[in-house]
A and B are shown apart, each in its own frame.
Chain A
Amino acid sequence: MNWFFDIVNFLLPEMIVIATILLSVVLTFLLKEKGQKSIYLICLTGVLFSIVSFAFIPAQPYVALLGSFLSADFTVFFRALIALGTLFVLFMSKRYTWNYGIWRGEFFILLLTATLGAMLLVAASDFIMLFVAIETLSLSSYALCGYTKNDRLSNEAAMKYLVVGASSSAIMLFGVSYLYGIFGETNILKIMEMLLGYEPNFTLVFALLLMLGGFLYKISAVPFHMWTPDVYEGAPIPVAAYLSVVSKIAGFAILIRLIPLFVTTAMLWSFIIAIIAVITMSVGNLVAIVQKNVKRLMAYSSIAHAGYMLLGLALFTKLGVSGVVFYLITYLFMNIGAWAGIEIFINQSGKAQIEDFKGLAYSQPYLALGLTVCLISLAGIPLTAGFLGKFYLFQTIAFSGVWGFVFLFFALINTVVAMYYYLKIVRQMFKQVAPVLRLDVVPKSISLNTILAFSAFCVVFIGIFSSPIIQLAQQISLNGAGLGILN
């Protein structure tokens, strides 16, 4: 009965999500088209309960499920963050799915399955568990990308995501198989222990390189970023928001947890990851400048943000990790807000080019205000969360010494470039146009407006009072699972 104890105590949120999924599956088959609306409410309630249930998880670190699931401050925090992100995405998808009739339930089931995968991924402490979790997340995401079956772009997105995703999963698995070959063990925590007495050699470096590739794909870092713009453009907007926030948070969380694997050859990896980070942010920002479609712009912007965070991660210090954690929190709010604003706009106008935002500040001042707050936060202007996220992250990078400053310099130059294209959207919104008769055929979506308002509020609030949140980030990176090796 030990496993039952584990599940009730430490996997309660996951169990609630699973129960919600099962209930939704049954209801999807049973209910008529009209009744399908209730599935949304059920999923919402399920995720809410799941978030609440994090409060009941015992605080002490514990390895559950025969060593394949780690429950500690760090993983609990990230699972909760993922559930929170999913809650936002659920709110965003209510309007999107409203005319999909009997297929409506499908969307929510897939979304929750992906969330389940992400939550398990963050806490996985065994490579088997890790692989199963990452595939659960990925497969559901592929299906979600192709949810709008009649849309050519959506199908293309799903296909591209599937092909790139499957191949990078294979590469990652190949790397993991080498690790198994070296250590004869799939348990990550045990491998970390064995590594301490292990003389680094080429095989180990090669295995880690392959494994790293799989995760770089999840966070859309540069050599593996090609899918991002196409997928974000074609996928349903809530799914794009989900990929850019929740999926990315999960990818960073597991990458942080795997840092101890890189410690024996830390100098090398630190350098490699820092170089990748600089290239990632430069490519993301430079290509974003020339984008005309706002979804593609957001895709490149999310690549750039992954670059900043990767640079913090490359330090391999607890301070650096706390910088990444805090950045992820701010990123969650500002990116969800920006996507919500974009979704409201696209719902109403049906257009997604940056030029189409012209005059938005005059026709819908509050939408423009919310979107502007989120965009200038992404650009890193003070009194928003984005500024403090960047400042704190850069501060941690500065603490790593002279080399840190060299890389910091690239990051700083990149923020200037980023400023340009975020302001480009803002500029369009505040351009005066001859008053046109706007046909507001689409009624206002309260849930979307709420999400935008809430995110904008949080962005400003964190921008002013972030001290407790940074302390939380520092605390969980100090007590982070398996991070004890770092200094």
Chain B
Amino acid sequence: MEHLSLNILLFLPLIFCVIIAGPWFPNHEVQIRRTAKAFASLLFVYSIFFVALFDFTKIGYQLIETIEFANGQRWFEPIGASFELGIDGLSLILVVLTSFIVLLASIASKPTIRKRHKLYYSMLFLLTFAILGVFLAKDLFLFFLFWELELIPMYFLISIWGSGRKEYSAMKFVLYTFLGSIFMLASILALYFYNFGQTGNLTFDISAYNAINAPFILSLLCFIGFFIAFAVKVPIVPFHTWLPDAHVDAPTPISMILAGILLKMGGYGLIRFNLGFFPEIIKFLAPILVILGVINIIYGALIALVQDDLKKLVAYSSVSHMGIVLLGLGALSVVGVSGAVFQMVAHGVISAGLFMAVGIIYLRCHTRQISEFGGLGQVMPRAMYFTLIITLASLGLPLLIGFAAETLVFYGAFTSNFASNAILSNIPIQVWSVIGIFGIILTAAYLLWMIQKVFYGNMFEKWKNIHDLTPHEVVVMLAIVTVIVVFGLYPTGVTHIFIPTVKGLLSNIIL
């Protein structure tokens, strides 16, 4: 077990990236792809080992590792930042999700990526490196560094291998995220400065800022700063306009990563920083979170209802489902926040599956207009069954993973004994969660309508010759469906990983 190290886990993708990118690696498509798949599998297996190593009863960071210079100085001594990695239940589940989705994405890349394979796979691993860094960083500076680093590979992945207005979308994605993150940077610096004034220590250590006892105004401003950065990423409704563009124009595997993992970075940040650092403020502002969450659910669902573009529909369903995360977070109860984390995992798997399904259809028909489809189930039954299961999971059919997550969230929100804040909103959270549940009905409406229009009914003549799933696609869909069914039947398998962590984070709030 001593061979398991977070540093190795973090740097594995970077090493893979260098191996593939270098001039020493043959520029041969099949070889690159196979190596990349092997590397991604290795990463996935390696990350699974951490679940075995993890102590589920402990609260707070575990397996902490610090890289220091030989003379004992921290990595970035003059400003007090250190290269410190740690893992807790929240990051563990997201790290495993990341390596899982990256593995699926690298398998799904075969039919969609048709040029510059070397650059593509090295960028994919660079992106993985940045995402793992975000989840593993135990230092605010390191977190911010990885948060920004992720932009560059994503920019290239969308703007080179995308379709449609790919350069516009990639630039929009980068600028939105960057604009959000400067607010976070200002907040980080303000906290850092405040902490230095109080304790005299220059440090960016995340644990040092947990439940920081700062003046109300400072905490409020910092909360808002962090919140804007994560709101862009989640995305929360007024900041969501980059998402449909980026999703629609990105290639299928990148859409899977974007919806499956990148959006979770926002949720992760909200729970880790906004909840962890500012328990007093979040108590005060939780009604806002709940309202924003409900707006997300309803708005995303309503827009998805009228979409004719298959990929846009799935993109807006992402907006809707991330609203559930926000609702669970706003409940501020152990059940609600655990539901939010669970929903992030569930949505990560489900949306990756949905984007895969859209990619499969687009590859064969070269169109995404729902009105042009019909009866595809006659020629591709396997695709239909897989997509059906994923869709049903997405709309929350019992015994599938989406049901478990949504039930937790709504149960948590409904039973939340957290008093509504009279200044901000007089309506109790129960009313909001009931409104949110109507969003689920809308979800069922647009998803079933989509399934019906695409797979059932009469088939157009032109789709007669399309073929069913290839083995690659079967593997990806089967993996996703397996996760959906297994953890739908046995949700404790996921929840027991992060519930202690959530309890620890909420211990400052629940009196």
Contacts and interface: CB of A to CB of B under 8 A. Distances in A.
Interface of A: 376, 381-383, 387, 391-392, 394-395, 398-399, 405, 408-409, 412-413, 415-416, 419-420, 423, 427, 430-432, 466-467, 470-471, 474
Interface centre among A416, A420, A431, A474 (most CB of B within 10 A): A416
Interface string B153-166: 00110011000000
A395 B69 CA distance: 23
Nearest to B167: A427
B475 interface: no
Contacts of B74: 467
Contacts of B167: 427, 431
Closest 10 pairs between A and B when the two form their complex, measured CB to CB:
A398-B189, A412-B182, A470-B78, A382-B145, A382-B149, A382-B148, A416-B179, A398-B193, A467-B77, A416-B178
Contacts of B414: none
B79 A392 contact: yes
Given A383-B149, A415-B178, 18 more contacts: A381-B148, A394-B185, A395-B79, A395-B189, A398-B190, A405-B186, A409-B186, A412-B183, A412-B186, A419-B174, A423-B174, A427-B159, A430-B156, A430-B159, A431-B167, A432-B115, A467-B75, A471-B78
Interface residues of B, number: 36
Nearest to B170: A427
Contacts of B193: 398-399
A466 B76 contact: yes
Interface string B47-80: 0000000000000000000000100011111110
A392 B74 CA distance: 16
A470 to B, nearest CB: 4
Nearest to B202: A395
Contacts of A413: 182
A419 B178 contact: yes
Contacts of A419: 174-175, 178
Contact of A420 (B171, B185, B190): B171
B145 A383 contact: yes
B487 interface: no
Nearest to B146: A382
Nearest to A380: B148
A392 B186 CA distance: 13
A376 B152 contact: yes
Contacts of A470: 76, 78-79
Contacts, number: 79
17 contacts: A381-B149, A382-B148, A383-B145, A387-B148, A392-B79, A394-B189, A398-B189, A398-B190, A398-B193, A412-B183, A419-B175, A420-B171, A420-B175, A430-B156, A467-B76, A470-B78, A471-B78
Nearest to B152: A381
Given A398-B189, A398-B190, A474 B178 contact: no
B155 A467 contact: no
Contact of A467 (B69, B141, B182): B69
A382 B141 CA distance: 11
Contacts of B273: none
A416 B175 CA distance: 7
B190 A405 contact: yes
A305 to B, nearest CB: 17
B355 interface: no
Most chain A beta carbons < 10 A, residue from B145, B155, B167, B189: B189
A466 B141 CA distance: 14
A376 B155 CA distance: 12
Contact of A430 (B73, B78, B141, B160): B160
Nearest to A388: B76
A474 B79 CA distance: 11
A96 B339 CA distance: 65
B405 interface: no
Contacts of B155: 423
Interface in B104-160: 115, 141, 145-146, 148-149, 151-152, 155-156, 159-160
A431 B167 CA distance: 9
Nearest to B149: A382
A241 B155 CA distance: 29
A417 B105 CA distance: 32
B186 A408 contact: yes
B192 interface: yes
